[in-house]
Amino acid sequence: MFRRGFSVLCGSALLAVCALSVPPQEEIRADAVAARAEAGADANAVAAAAGATTPFVTLEAEAGQRGGGATVRSISPGATAPTKATLETEASGYALVELKSNGDSVTLPNSTGKSANTLVVRASIPDAPGGGGITATLNLYVNNVFRQAITLDSRQAWNYRGATTNPDDPNAGGQAYRFYNEFPVWVTGAPIAAGSTIKLQKDADNTAAVYDIDSVDLENVAPALTQPANSISVVSNGADPKFVKDSTVAIQNTVNTARAEKKSVWIPPGKYLTNSLVSKPLDFTGVKVQGAGMWHSTIYRKVPLPANSWRSQILVGSGTTLTDLQIDANAVWRGVGGDGGSDYGINASGAGGWLVDRLWTRHIDANWLSGSNGVLQNSRTADSYGDGYNINNGNTPHPDKLGLNITVRNNFARNTGDDSYATYADAGANGDNGQVSGAKILNNTAIAPWWANGIRIAGGRDVEVKNNLVNSVSSNSALEISVFGDSGHPLESATVSGNVLLGGGGWNGTRHGVHIGSPAATSQFPDAYTNVTMSDNIMRGALRAGLQIDKSRVKVTLTNNTIDRPAKQGIWIPAGVTGTGAFTGNTVQNLLPGQVAIQNDSSATFKITG
């Protein structure tokens, strides 16, 4: 297992000190010594602890050796903040390698210290002129010897914000975004040995006009798990692991039998089609459901499009354990149960607690997490149309959807279509939904969400956000600390510590690296304050201010934080803010010419002490 970290040796063309790079932990420590010494010993410890520990290592394409006419596209430090989504804003590290002509290539070393039998290539190829995507191959070489062609497509990329027809129509006046997709690949032949090189090259048989390569994950996937004792296989009830006939009813019947007989459910290796138009989602409440591993067992939702309220989510209720499984779908845009086909990955609730472990969700909407005492851990999500992981109160006062003491830890999210991680405490139109309390977002990684924030704290009580890594937010902030609209519960108390927050301040209006806000005058809670303590965080390379505190009522304690090379002010408090700021031991460094460490335009009403 590897600790997700970041490297600072990424070249002056990249954002601040860092594009994201995720070598093994030993290399992180060796490569980052100089920059971390500048930030101090505390920053060194923070950086080493932040993010998820994963079984794969990410190699950034821009750190590789380019061949032919391959070029790097990137956002430079201090450049004008973007006003629309681009390939650069959505790339991890705000940088990518572009292959346009035959012979263009990028070569990366397998520096993981282990063999790799799988890859995940994060890349973008163009949309079709009329929308709907194209398919094209890209050639993979190992040690300069051709190994296999990798099939890429853009069918589940390239949405168009504000299109007058549908979000998949490039000719309806919308703004293009969601450029990338991830492509899991089993390596043909022998695993890629440690120390070998992999090369992605555009050759004559690779027909896309351009290939934009962001990153490559290397992983040595273990053999499939075997069926546990006292379990019932879904195959024995008619589920088809060969992806030919629909398995929805067979899977549900197995779960129902296991629940009645107090057994668990086994999903053997295979890909299981779920596309029957049954009226209810799969319901795993009260049962342990286990697959053979995230790379081995997949439930694939081939939703008939337009979906027209066809529901493909999986319900996780009190007493459920769900492990070692992948959930994928053919969805093409957001709209839960709507024409684009997206739906929640899992919809968790229940007063009795639940556990989700080693779950990989792809091309889904949010993973929706309510109830009490639930835990989601060691999982990954990618290419979603909604939040990665959303802790909430179900938008209802129901006792099974209270949003109490839910923990999300050691997970990896990339290319999410809303906040990668969020707490969502909505009081509802009548103000009778309970306050989300005890939410914990711990040791997670958020990479390149194409919409919204890396992490969002939208109200709550006793919220903990600790030791997370956020890198390269396209549209909004690396971290948003506030409430959810006029019906959002106040943020009564939150502790934010030990996080590494890289970039932020994207194109969706005027955004910043970290933003702290409060209820508006039109809120159901117009007099409530936002209360947050931030300590020992690193905020680096924001595209505007490193930290902005705005609206009106804020009480914030900032202790031992480091703000490094923001494009604008280190900390900015605009006019009209009321409240207090207790600032102790913070460092603002590497300011660009003309910028200041703290700009308080509300000095008469927002008092800073320390």
Distance separating alpha carbons of residues 274 and 258, to the nearest angstrom: 20
Judged against a pLDDT cut of 50, whether residue 28 lies above it is answered with: no
pTM over 0.85: yes
Are 529 and 579 in contact, with CB atoms under 8 Å apart?
Answer: yes
In sequence order, what DSSP letters do the residues of 349-371 get, joined into one string?
--TT-EEEEEEEEES-S-EEE-S
Q: Dump pLDDT digits (tens) for 440-468.
A: 999 999 999 999 999 999 999 999 999 99
Q: How confident is the model at residue 78 (pLDDT cuts 50, 70, 90)?
A: confident
Q: How confident is the model at residue 25 (pLDDT cuts 50, 70, 90)?
A: very low
259 by DSSP, 3-state: which? helix
Q: What percent of the chain has pLDDT over 90?
A: 87
Distance separating alpha carbons of residues 234 and 121, to the nearest angstrom: 31
Are 421 and 409 in contact, with CB atoms under 8 Å apart?
Answer: no
Q: Dump pLDDT digits (tens) for 360-390.
A: 999 999 999 999 999 999 999 999 999 999 9
Q: Dump pLDDT digits (tens) for 112-159.
A: 999 999 999 999 999 999 999 999 999 999 999 999 999 999 999 999
pLDDT of residue 278: 74
pLDDT of residue 117: 98
The whole-number average pLDDT for the span 32-43 is 44
Q: How confident is the model at residue 47 (pLDDT cuts 50, 70, 90)?
A: confident
pLDDT of residue 389: 98
Judged against a pLDDT cut of 60, whether residue 342 lies above it is answered with: yes
Are 334 and 315 in contact, with CB atoms under 8 Å apart?
Answer: no
The whole-number average pLDDT for the span 484-491 is 97
Q: Dump pLDDT digits (tens) for 562-588.
A: 999 999 999 999 999 999 999 999 999
The H-assigned helical ranges of 442-488 are: none
Type of residue numbered 597: A
**Of 290-299, 305-314, 596-605, which gets the smallest average pLDDT?**
305-314
Q: Dump pLDDT digits (tens) for 496-555.
A: 999 999 999 999 999 999 999 999 999 999 999 999 999 999 999 999 999 999 989 999
pLDDT of residue 339: 84
Tokens of 368: 């929706």
Burial 501-522 (b: 16+ CB within 10 A, else e): bbbbbbbbeebbbbbbbbbeee
In the chain, count H helices and then E strands.
Answer: 4, 52
Judged against a pLDDT cut of 60, whether residue 19 lies above it is answered with: no
- The residues pairing with 362 across neighbouring beta strands, listed in sequence order, are 382
The whole-number average pLDDT for the span 294-321 is 90
Distance separating alpha carbons of residues 601 and 433, to the nearest angstrom: 36
Burial 82-92 (b: 16+ CB within 10 A, else e): beebbbbbbbb
Mean of the per-residue pLDDT values of the chain: 92
Which residue carries 């971290």 as its tokens?
479
pLDDT of residue 23: 27
The whole-number average pLDDT for the span 251-276 is 97
pLDDT of residue 2: 53
pLDDT of residue 303: 82
Are 394 and 374 in contact, with CB atoms under 8 Å apart?
Answer: no
The whole-number average pLDDT for the span 177-193 is 98
Compute, in degrees rounded to 10, the torsion defined by CA atoms 486, 490, 494, 500: 10
Q: Closest Cα partner for 542 from 578, 561, 514?
A: 514
pLDDT of residue 54: 98
Judged against a pLDDT cut of 80, whether residue 161 lies above it is answered with: yes
Q: How confident is the model at residue 22 (pLDDT cuts 50, 70, 90)?
A: very low
Higher pLDDT, 33 or 524: 524
Tokens of 298: 């997949």
Q: Closest Cα partner for 558 from 540, 541, 579, 583?
A: 583
**Ramachandran quadrant class, 195 (left: phi over 0; alpha: psi -120 to 50; beta: rest):** left
Q: How confident is the model at residue 5 (pLDDT cuts 50, 70, 90)?
A: very low
Higher pLDDT, 277 or 423: 423
Tokens of 370: 């309510």
Judged against a pLDDT cut of 80, whether residue 166 lies above it is answered with: yes
Q: How confident is the model at residue 164 (pLDDT cuts 50, 70, 90)?
A: very high
